[in-house]
A and B are shown apart, each in its own frame.
Chain A
């Protein structure tokens, strides 16, 4: 029954100064869904790049056997010829080309160099039916949602007669509904004989689809758990990933809640491009001193839109509503104004909106509050270094020095730099948008501890998160949003995943 399709033996890959993979073993059986788990930087993506030929066969040590034949891929096209297709976390689709063109990109259905459009669109339609996507093949990619784009990627893989499909964090950008659909599709393809390797942070997903889990830690394969050999449990996976038991995932805290600090009232925001759509409807919420307030909602609920429109109108148009701080109405219509009134917003997308990745730690930390370090427009570099060093210590940012380039740090450390930046701007209200996205378990705990400390210092904290257990673990009160409406306000004592989900899916009439 268990016929191996892929055997990777003794894979060792070194980068200058770093051993990214060390003697890694991976066995995947034909027709199974095999999950790969590990903290960020554990070497999961590197392993997949080795497998798919992104790293040519002479740049690493070890052997790869695919269908019992050795592989020495020099490039991705070599691995694709053998039926190994990798779908990266960041999709490789061309936005202005149609779905059909994207599916057959680099593999065009053509005779003598001329594309056969009829055949292209016909074949594309068949592939779309296989992945359960009802879209016209001539629709440009930019007009369909990310969830659907993911399905197009899979259709593209199917067009290459895929035998082994590798998905790198396929649901990271998807909402629950799209995620479920994708996971069902993976199971469906499994029924058709396609073997899948799935890299994921979401342990519940892994439990749902995986037949086996290989855990990678610090570039080494720790163990492979199989469902048919005693099963896969969340605790076991977490223990394997971090090498220790996590008895308490969230720091203990005793909230000391004071008076109201920020109140948002009747906040309405329109979509920046589509004037007919209202993204946030008459939202009202408040946060008090020392309180951690959660914003829960499914994708499209308008959480980030709400936060960014409050923070200097960085999202949306025709924004209306009032913001009060300590009971007095304030103007937050530009980012400098919002910062001046003591509001900080740490984005959910630190690489694109949060950090200057080519700049060092200290200059990123000082970016939002340079005037605090300056006299008459001139920055005191020594003071800046001192400040950055103190944050490096207190936030436990792992880097050789504060002159290290932020682009080279791990996700968790980058997030700590972003938080340091906003803490240095000395806000009264911090809005943290998905503060633990893409961060490994150990660093998540550190971020929760920082949030708890901020609240203990008397800051008002708003946390936006897609992970309900996280909100339940750290918040004092949770608002739910659904399709732009605030549909519920739940004190932590009354909150559970079920009650929150009930409000998050509630339709406002």
Chain B
């Protein structure tokens, strides 16, 4: 009885994380019913993964940028631009795919460095720099492509967008055994890791999730992974892009949680001044975040181009909005400091399932956009509602906060710590002490 109450209390405290996951499941079930079971047919699940992979990859970089308190509006244009560059390199210049891919990622890094320079070192808000970037790189895409699409691409590159792992049974089995091995192995690794982490937390006297909750959650995720494995294995196996995505999610989750770089990113977004005064090289971290975003945008552009087998002038249009939405639906905070890669992935999947499900139902883009917009609004609205309730602050108290003149102690704005990301510098900056001097 008390275990149940404990679990429920815990659930309430984790409403946001649990809620978003439950929302995804409900949306999947809803469309499963509405589409008469088409949504979860093996072929469609496979499609879902491939169709959304580039948005999910962008969402990884995007959530990191958002955690640091910035935004990137240019990723769609960058993805389009890199597609164009790949087209020129491979189709026009005849470069090999294995040379073109790293070259394209390098171009992406340079693009990110260009934007990161203006944001981190010049101090122009990311919103402005990347809005400019959105126009600049769309323009460069059109110039590079001379307003015409470039096609076709070699099979090796196309595999990146729509390829599958090989069938090791040689066509004798209904299941793709390599996929089964990967899926079961991955699930086992996840179980092992979760239990190990729980042990470690107990050892270091940190609060643990209640046992009942932990068991339910872990079992549920394991079953989910096995189901997806089965679905993929009974179609054409594991899409190559899923492997790329899985590797990125694992690597970037670890990076954000356990690396100095990741910690510094959270610290900058949580309190830029405190981070700066703790000796964190905030400009360098910001710069690197945008370089990273450029590389991921380049990768997304390559995958998208490979899937379409063509570099198109309008390629990547609107990707920035989907990836930003994914990050926010996944629990990232607009003010920075809060968010996770895993959350952004779930946010991205919600958007993806909505897209896919509504397309199967034959809804036009008009209604699709309407519904996606409402979902974004509701998800973030739910978040804020939840926060207010937990904080006990009434709307008036909130308004007071917003209009508040900062307390005197912060009026001394150190010159070096003026935040590019938070342009609202305190009132009467540097005045209190000085006025009386």
Residues of A within 8 A of B (CB): 15-16, 49, 54-56, 75-76, 88-95, 141-147, 149, 172-175, 177-178, 271-274, 277, 279, 298-302, 304-305, 308, 311-317, 335-336, 338-339, 345, 347-349, 352-359, 363, 366-368, 370-371, 374, 377-379, 381-382, 385-386, 389, 400-403, 421, 425, 437, 483-484
Contacts and interface: CB of A to CB of B under 8 A. Distances in A.
Contacts of A143: 428, 431
Given A93-B405, A353-B410, A272 B415 contact: yes
B434 A173 contact: no
B412 interface: yes
Interface residues of B, number: 62
Given A92-B400, A312-B416, A356 B411 contact: no
A173 B408 contact: yes
Interface stretch (B42-50, B117-125, B200-208, B357-365): B200-208
Contacts of A302: 433, 437
B380 interface: no
A425 B278 CA distance: 10
Contacts of B407: 89-91, 172-173, 349
Interface in B367-415: 390, 392, 394, 396-397, 400-401, 403-415
Given A279-B437, A312-B416, A145 B431 contact: yes
Nearest to B337: A358
Contact of A379 (B260, B278, B413, B430): B260
14 contacts: A95-B405, A147-B432, A298-B436, A300-B432, A300-B437, A313-B416, A336-B279, A352-B273, A352-B409, A352-B410, A358-B270, A363-B263, A385-B206, A403-B206
B281 interface: yes
Contact of B405 (A91, A300, A313): A91
Contacts of A271: 430, 434
Given A314-B414, A348-B409, A142 B278 contact: no
Interface of B: 200, 203-207, 257-261, 263-264, 266-267, 270-271, 273-281, 333, 337-338, 390, 392, 394, 396-397, 400-401, 403-417, 427-437
Contacts of A54: 394, 396-397
A367 B408 contact: no
A339 B263 CA distance: 18
A76 B436 contact: no
B409 A356 contact: no
> Which of A90, A348, A400: most chain B CB closer than 10 A?
A90
Contact of A367 (B273, B274, B429): B274
Nearest first, the 8 closest Cβ-Cβ pairs linking A and B are: A173-B408, A95-B427, A356-B270, A300-B436, A272-B415, A145-B435, A300-B437, A91-B405
Contact of A356 (B200, B271, B390, B432): B271
A148 B433 CA distance: 13
A142 B206 contact: no
B258 A378 contact: yes
Given A149-B405, A272-B430, A300-B433, A378 B204 contact: no
Given A91-B404, A386-B204, A173 B263 contact: no
B276 A335 contact: yes
A495 B396 CA distance: 48
B271 A315 contact: no
Contacts of A141: 405, 427-428
Given A149-B405, A317-B415, A355 B274 contact: yes
Contacts of B258: 378-379, 381
Given A377-B259, A385-B204, A335 B274 contact: no
Contact of B409 (A173, A178, A389): A173
Nearest to A18: B392
Contacts of A335: 276-280
Given A345-B277, A379-B260, A382-B204, A299 B266 contact: no
Contact of A88 (B260, B270, B404, B432): B404
B408 A174 contact: yes
Nearest to A178: B436
Nearest to B390: A16
Nearest to A373: B260
Nearest to B409: A349
A313 B414 CA distance: 8
B273 A353 contact: yes
A144 B404 CA distance: 16
B275 A367 contact: yes
Contact of B275 (A277, A315, A356, A402): A356
B278 A314 contact: no
A389 B205 contact: yes
Contacts of A146: 405, 408, 411, 428, 431-432
A142 B428 contact: yes
A208 B433 CA distance: 25
A460 B435 CA distance: 32
Nearest to B261: A377
A101 to B, nearest CB: 13
A145 B436 contact: yes
A325 to B, nearest CB: 17
Nearest to A303: B433
A299 B437 CA distance: 8
Contacts of B408: 146, 172-174
A260 to B, nearest CB: 24
B405 A353 contact: no
Contact of A94 (B271, B403, B432): B403
Contacts of B275: 356, 367
A357 B270 contact: yes
B414 A308 contact: yes
Contact of B263 (A142, A279, A336, A370): A370
A172 B432 CA distance: 13
B279 A356 contact: no
Contact of B433 (A88, A304, A363, A425): A304
A232 to B, nearest CB: 27
B278 A272 contact: no
Contacts of A16: 390, 392
A371 to B, nearest CB: 7
A316 to B, nearest CB: 7
A55 B430 contact: no
A370 B397 CA distance: 36
Contacts of A55: 394
B263 A358 contact: no
Nearest to A380: B258
Contacts of A311: 277
> Which of B200, B411, B427: most chain A CB closer than 10 A?
B427
A345 B276 CA distance: 12
A232 B206 CA distance: 46
B263 A356 contact: no
A18 B416 CA distance: 41
A51 to B, nearest CB: 14
A93 B411 CA distance: 14
